[in-house]
Structure 1
Amino acid sequence: MGYDTLDVRFKDGLCRVRLDRADAGNALNARMVEELSSVLALCATEDRDQPVTILVLEGAASVFCSGGDFEATAGGAALDPAPLYDLWTHLATGPFISIALVRGRANAGGVGLACSCDLVLCDRSATFSLSELLFGLFPACVMPFLVRRTGLQKAHHMALMTRPIPAAEALASGLADAVGDDAEALLASHLPRLTRLTRPAIARYKSFMGDLTEIIDRAKPMALAANREMFEDATVRRNISRYVTEMKLPWED
C-alpha cells in the first residue's frame, strides 16, 4: 500500500513505520493519524501469512514528531482528538509489541505517540517536551498515557515546566526505557528476545495490562472534552496563529 505521510515496511513479523512529513517536523495531521490507524489495523489482523508481533515507530534523525500540526490549527482545522486518542490506545493495547524509536525532538503529541508505545528506545539526541501551556493549552489527551508511564507528579512537573528534557532525564523518569549512542543498535539489542514472544502470549498479556491500569479508557471522555474546549478558545487560536505566522510566543512583543 502507498502512504502519503509514512514509509511502511513489513518483514518477518516486524513492521517498521517511519513518519514521513519531514518538511512539517513530522507533525501529526488528520491524514497521518488516518494512515497510522490503517497500519495498526493491518498489524492487528490475524489473517496475514506472518502475523505482526513487533511494530517499530520512528521519525527522522532530528525530529521524531513535533506534535499536532499548528499550521492546520491556525487555518481553522484543529485536529480531532478522538482518532488520535484511539490511535494511541491501539498502540498501548494492540496485540503486538509497539516500540517508539526516538531520535531528536518529540514534542506535545509526539510525546503522546512515544509514551503510548510499550517500549521507548532513544539515542542521546532525543528530547521530550510538553509545550502546550505556553499557548494556553494543556496536554489533556497525552496525560493519561504519560501518567501511566511516569506517575502523576513527574508528568505534572513536565507539563508545568514546558521545557525539553534530555534522554537521560527521560530514562530516569520512566518516559524512556533505554538510551544508547545509536538508536538502531539499541533496537537490535532488544529484538532477539522480543521476537521469541508469540502473538497469542503478547495479546493476552497486553489485554491483562490494559485491564490492570484502566486509566486510558477511564480518562478518555474527560480528555477529549477538555481538548475540544481548549481549541474552541479564541485566545488559544490567536496564540497558535501568531506563532505560526510570526514565530512569536504569546508574551513576546
Structure 2
Amino acid sequence: MGVVSDSYQTIKFRNDRGLATLQFHRPEANNTINDQLVSECRAVLAEFGSQIRVLVIEGLPEVFCFGADFKAIHQAGSDPAASDGTRSAEDLYDLWLDLAQGPYVTVAHVRGKANAGGMGFVAACDIVLADETAAFSLSELLFGLFPACVLPFLIRKIGKQKAHYMTLMTVPVQVGEAHRWGLVDAYAANSDDLLRRHMLRLRRLSKSGIQRYKTYLASLENDLAAQRDKAVVGNRAVFNDPENLEKIARFVETGQFPWEGGHGGR
C-alpha cells in the first residue's frame, strides 16, 4: 500500500515504493485551483520528490481540473488586504515546472473536463492518458482573460497555432482531436486499464535514469523557465483588470456568462 497521506484538504496522495498518485479532490468546487491546492501539491513534491519515480496526476471521474477558483478570486477581490495574486501565479508556474522538469515521470490521467489552468497540469506532464469522456478547453478569453501561464507549456506540447486556436475559440476539444494534435498520448474507454498497462512498463525505469534523462531534456528546452516572469506579468495584468473582475463577480453571483443578459457588447 505504501504511504497514504490524509493530511491534505484539497488533494489525496499515496506513494507505493516510488509509484505515486496525486489526485485533485475539491468536488465541492468543481476541482478548481486555489492557493491551498497549489501549496499542497508543492508540499508533496518537496517531501516525496526524491523518492518518486512515476507520479500520476488525476482528478475526479467527471472533471480533471476546471481551472482557477473564480469564487476564491471574487472573495479576494472584495478584501482590501488580499494580495494581487502574483505570488499565486508564480507558485503555480513553478509547480508546472516541477512536473515538466522534475526527476520523475509525470502522467496526467484525464477523465472528464480539463479547462483553463487544468490544461496547465495536462501540458506540463510527460505523458497524457485519457478516457473517452475527456475534453480540453481554454475558456479564459470569454472573461477577458488569457491563459498566460498555461501557454508556454501548451505550445511546447501541441505547437503555437493549435494553442492559439484553442485560446481564441474557447470551445472544448474532444479526446480524439486532442490525440491527433499530440496533446493526448493514448486514450481508451477504460482509462484505468490503460493507466495500469503504462505503469507496468514505467515501473521498470530506474530513479537515476529518469533523473539524468529529465535533466538532459530540460537543458534542451530551457524556454519554460525563461518565460516564467513574462507569464506571471501577463497573468497579473488580466486578473487585476477591473472589467475582468466584474465579469468574474457576475458569473460567481448569478451564473451568467459575460455575453448573457445584455453584457455581450462590452
* TM bracket (short chain): over 0.9
Alignment partner of 1:141: what SS?
Answer: coil
Report if the CA contact (8 A) 1:28-1:69 is conserved. Answer: yes
Cα displacement string for residues 59-107 of structure 1 (whole angstroms, at most 9, x for unaligned residues):
1000000101000111116652000000000000110001110000010
- What is the aligned partner in structure 1 of residue 43 from structure 2? 38
- What is the aligned partner in structure 1 of residue 184 from structure 2? 176
Alignment partner of 1:57: what SS?
Answer: strand
Amino acid at match of 2:228: K
- Report how far residue 183 of structure 1 moved: 1.3
Alignment of 1:44-55 (within 5 A): 44-45=49-50, 51-55=51-55
CA distance in structure 1 between the partners assigned to 2:48 and 2:189 by the alignment: 29
Moved over 6 A (4+): none
- What is the aligned partner in structure 2 of residue 218 from structure 1? 226
- Report how far residue 194 of structure 1 moved: 0.8
- Report how far residue 12 of structure 1 moved: 2.3
Report if the CA contact (8 A) 1:43-1:96 is conserved. Answer: no
- What is the aligned partner in structure 1 of residue 27 from structure 2? 22
CA distance in structure 1 between the partners assigned to 2:256 and 2:222 by the alignment: 39
CA distance in structure 2 between the partners assigned to 1:35 and 1:22 by the alignment: 16
- What is the aligned partner in structure 2 of residue 59 from structure 1? 59
Amino acid at match of 2:157: R
Alignment of 1:51-130 (within 5 A): 51-75=51-75, 76=77, 79=85, 80-130=88-138
Q: What TM-score, normalized to structure 1?
A: 0.95
Q: What TM-score, normalized to structure 2?
A: 0.91
- What is the aligned partner in structure 1 of residue 169 from structure 2? 161
Cα displacement string for residues 20-43 of structure 1 (whole angstroms, at most 9, x for unaligned residues):
101101111000000000111123
CA distance in structure 1 between the partners assigned to 2:231 and 2:218 by the alignment: 18
Amino acid at match of 1:12: R
- What is the aligned partner in structure 2 of residue 229 from structure 1? 237
- What is the aligned partner in structure 2 of residue 12 from structure 1? 17
- Report how far residue 174 of structure 1 moved: 1.0
Amino acid at match of 1:228: R
Cα displacement string for residues 230-253 of structure 1 (whole angstroms, at most 9, x for unaligned residues):
111000000111111111111211
- Report how far residue 10 of structure 1 moved: 1.1
Report if the CA contact (8 A) 1:44-1:52 is conserved. Answer: yes
Deviates more, 1:84-93 or 1:203-212: 203-212
Amino acid at match of 2:183: L
Amino acid at match of 1:40: L
CA distance in structure 2 between the partners assigned to 1:222 and 1:13 by the alignment: 34
Paired residues, number: 248
CA distance in structure 1 between the partners assigned to 2:120 and 2:139 by the alignment: 12
The unaligned stretches of length 5 or more in structure 2 are 262-266
CA RMSD of aligned residues (A): 1.1
Of 192, 196, 209 in structure 2, the residue corresponding to residue 188 of structure 1 is 196
Alignment partner of 2:258: what SS?
Answer: coil
- What is the aligned partner in structure 2 of residue 48 from structure 1? none
Amino acid at match of 1:233: D
The unaligned stretches of length 5 or more in structure 1 are 46-50
CA distance in structure 2 between the partners assigned to 1:160 and 1:209 by the alignment: 30
Q: How many percent of aligned residue pairs carry the same amino acid?
A: 44
